């Protein structure tokens, strides 16, 4: 920053297609925006609009779900707005009850990652009361099971199928510690382990008379109500996979009507049923590069591999051109991120630096995941180590680019490690005895965008209001291509 032109870019809210500027950015929408070169209305916005208009409840998938005697709703219960929103869950329950569904069972994944670390009761307790009121009015509504999002169900990129297996055993088979209510389960977990946060709550089931109230049986309907795809695909595969499914032993596999809030992978058609059409993202940077004969090398460790490939390419799993695109995934370590805050950053950097020096591709993109993944732990000391590691890695990439005469762009898909504590704000007290509260969620802060050009031909364009969606046109312009008319302006210009 002391020697290169740089600026700040908006990476949250309406600048990345989310409903409002109070919504935090996230890795999915961030990479979508960078790769699309324009603002795409994202899952949260699309689901909100479909609920408000009633279109969601007029579709064939919803009609099939509410025709079953029991509807199971599985998903992340918070207002974080990254993977799901609790208001969407409320709408599904309300409309299912109105449609006459006899039994509604909610399988809650607690958050603590996109919201405060121990905030689950802010949603679970009111929902327990609301569900009881539905039951008094004639619809049998109840929580059925639950546990922390990093403990069960919400794995991604096949990093830890055992997470999904734990979720399956809890949600489907009814295996878990029994409690009278979901609120009781969470309060007990807090009391027994003062260090556990919502991400890691152990599996529980709600039971009556010693029996779980919400095992999933033949003929039931199941809806996974998260709209974001990366952590929804594996559990969807478990429900929709036939005898060929071998990621884990499912034991009893009920025959159910399964649907996702959205289709999580269009190339794979996963899941077959879904309630809201996902965003259609065409003429992405990757597609335009392939059409122009520009070669690409994308590399990351498992935790962010799908972001530099699938999400950057507009939620597309397949390559645009097998000959021009090379993707390399380095396996992430299966340990808590604050125990190894360096993660695989050095290995990813070594591979990228080698490709830069060898001129292995015209366009190279990588993601160093440390600031995001370690930042989510709320562990300040570990996050310092993570950022120091990334700083060292950036130094390696800078030298490689200078040696190769390559242009380097350094940015982020959202904020996280930049804001590691929560402070009291007007109307919101979070500190205890003046001590800041560890923050585990993303921030609303803008992200840096730094240009290193050893050739001296490029500098930054000067215009207000830019966001990370402007990066798409920037990449095209740097490769000598003309961006499509609907792309946002490029962030660079030729030096006068």
56 plus 194 within the same structural domain: yes
Last residue of a domain, one of 276, 291, 318: 276
268 plus 296 within the same structural domain: no
298 plus 256 within the same structural domain: no
Task: List helix spans (H) across 54-204.
Answer: 60-66, 86-98, 121-136, 161-171, 182-192
CATH number where 294 lies: 3.40.720.10
The stretch 423-444 carries a mean pLDDT of 83
CA 407/CA 398 separation, integer angstroms = 9
pLDDT interval class at 230 (50, 70, 90): confident
> How are strands ordered across the β-sheet holding 325-330?
325-330, 296-301, 363-367
Find the range with the poorest average confidence among 83-87, 279-283, 384-388, 390-394. Answer: 279-283
pLDDT interval class at 313 (50, 70, 90): very high
Would the pLDDT of 158 be above 80? yes
450 plus 387 within the same structural domain: yes
178 plus 57 within the same structural domain: yes
Give catalytic status of residue 27 as yes or no. Answer: yes
In a domain, 1, yes or no: no
**Contacts within 8 Å (CB) and 24+ apart, 188-197:** 190/118, 197/112, 197/117, 197/118, 197/148, 197/378, 197/440
Whole-number percent of the chain with pLDDT over 70: 100
169 plus 96 within the same structural domain: yes
Residues 6+ away with beta carbon under 8 Å from 181: 128, 143, 206
261 plus 121 within the same structural domain: yes
In a domain, 333, yes or no: yes
Model confidence pLDDT, tens digit, residues 366-414? 999 999 999 999 999 999 999 999 999 999 999 999 999 999 999 999 9
CA 272/CA 257 separation, integer angstroms = 10
In a domain, 321, yes or no: yes
In terms of phi and psi (left: phi > 0; alpha: psi -120 to 50; beta: otherwise), the region of 255 is beta
The stretch 25-36 carries a mean pLDDT of 93
Q: Average pLDDT, whole number, for the chain?
A: 95
pLDDT interval class at 244 (50, 70, 90): very high
User: Contact, 415 vs 467, CB < 8 A?
Assistant: no
In a domain, 86, yes or no: yes
pLDDT at 267: 66
CA 140/CA 438 separation, integer angstroms = 38
Catalytic residue among 2, 3, 27, 236: 27
User: Contact, 92 vs 240, CB < 8 A?
Assistant: no
21 plus 95 within the same structural domain: no
CA 490/CA 479 separation, integer angstroms = 12
118 plus 246 within the same structural domain: yes
Closest among 378, 377, 301 to 337, alpha carbons compared = 377
206 plus 130 within the same structural domain: yes
The stretch 114-136 carries a mean pLDDT of 96
Model confidence pLDDT, tens digit, residues 430-439? 787 888 888 8
Number of domains in the chain: 2
In a domain, 236, yes or no: yes
Last residue of a domain, one of 276, 309, 334: 276
In a domain, 380, yes or no: yes
306 plus 269 within the same structural domain: no
CA 127/CA 11 separation, integer angstroms = 32
In a domain, 173, yes or no: yes
Last residue of a domain, one of 227, 244, 276: 276
Torsion angle (degrees, nearest 10) of CA 372, 373, 375, 378: 150
In a domain, 136, yes or no: yes
Domain that holds residue 96: 44-276
User: Contact, 327 vs 307, CB < 8 A?
Assistant: no
Would the pLDDT of 429 be above 80? no
98 plus 177 within the same structural domain: yes
CB environment 359-391: b (16+ within 10 A), e (fewer) = eebbbbbbbbbbbbbbbbbbbeebbebbbebbe
């Amino acid at each position: 920053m002391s020697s290169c032109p740089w600026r700040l870019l908006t990476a949250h809210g309406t600048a990345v297609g989310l409903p409002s500027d109070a919504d935090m950015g996230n890795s999915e929408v961030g990479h979508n925006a960078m790769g699309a070169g324009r603002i795409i209305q994202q899952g949260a916005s699309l689901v909100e609009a479909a609920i408000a208009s009633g279109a969601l409840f007029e579709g064939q998938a919803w009609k099939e779900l509410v025709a079953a005697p029991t509807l199971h709703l599985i998903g992340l219960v918070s207002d974080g707005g990254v993977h799901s929103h609790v208001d969407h869950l409320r709408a599904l329950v309300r409309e299912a009850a109105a449609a006459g569904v006899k039994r509604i069972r909610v399988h809650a994944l607690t958050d603590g990652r996109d919201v405060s670390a121990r905030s689950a009761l802010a949603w679970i307790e009111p929902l327990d009361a609301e569900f009881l009121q539905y039951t008094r009015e004639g619809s049998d509504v109840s929580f059925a099971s639950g546990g922390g999002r990093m403990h069960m169900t919400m794995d991604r990129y096949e990093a830890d199928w055992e997470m999904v297996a734990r979720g399956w055993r809890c949600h489907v088979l009814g295996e878990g510690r029994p409690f009278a209510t979901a609120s009781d389960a969470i309060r007990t977990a807090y009391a027994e382990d003062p260090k556990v946060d919502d991400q890691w709550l152990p599996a529980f089931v709600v039971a009556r008379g010693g029996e779980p109230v919400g095992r999933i049986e033949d003929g039931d309907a199941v809806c996974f109500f998260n709209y974001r795809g990366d952590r929804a695909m594996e559990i969807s595969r478990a429900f929709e996979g036939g005898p060929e499914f071998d990621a884990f032993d499912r034991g009893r596999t009920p025959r159910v009507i399964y649907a996702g809030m959205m289709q999580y992978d269009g190339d794979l058609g996963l899941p077959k049923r879904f309630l809201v059409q996902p965003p259609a993202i065409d003429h992405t940077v990757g597609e335009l590069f392939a059409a122009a004969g520009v070669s690409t090398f994308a590399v990351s460790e498992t935790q962010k591999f799908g972001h530099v490939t699938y999400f950057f390419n507009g939620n597309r799993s397949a390559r645009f051109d097998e000959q021009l695109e090379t993707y390399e995934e380095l396996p992430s370590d299966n340990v808590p991120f604050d125990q190894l805050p360096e993660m695989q950053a050095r290995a990813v950097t070594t591979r990228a630096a080698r490709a830069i020096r060898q001129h292995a591709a015209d366009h190279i993109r990588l993601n160093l995941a440390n600031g995001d993944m370690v930042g989510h732990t709320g562990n300040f000391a570990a996050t310092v180590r993570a950022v120091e590691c990334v700083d060292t890695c950036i130094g390696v990439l800078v030298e490689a680019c200078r040696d190769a005469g390559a242009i380097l762009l350094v940015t982020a898909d959202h904020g996280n490690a930049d804001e590691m504590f929560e402070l009291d704000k007007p109307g919101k007290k979070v500190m205890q005895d003046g001590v800041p509260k560890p923050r585990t969620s993303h921030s609303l802060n803008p992200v840096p965008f730094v240009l290193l050009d050893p050739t001296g031909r490029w500098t930054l364009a000067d215009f207000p209001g830019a966001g990370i969606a402007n990066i798409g046109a920037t990449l095209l312009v740097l490769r000598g291509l003309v961006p499509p008319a609907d792309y946002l302006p490029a962030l660079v210009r030729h030096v006068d």
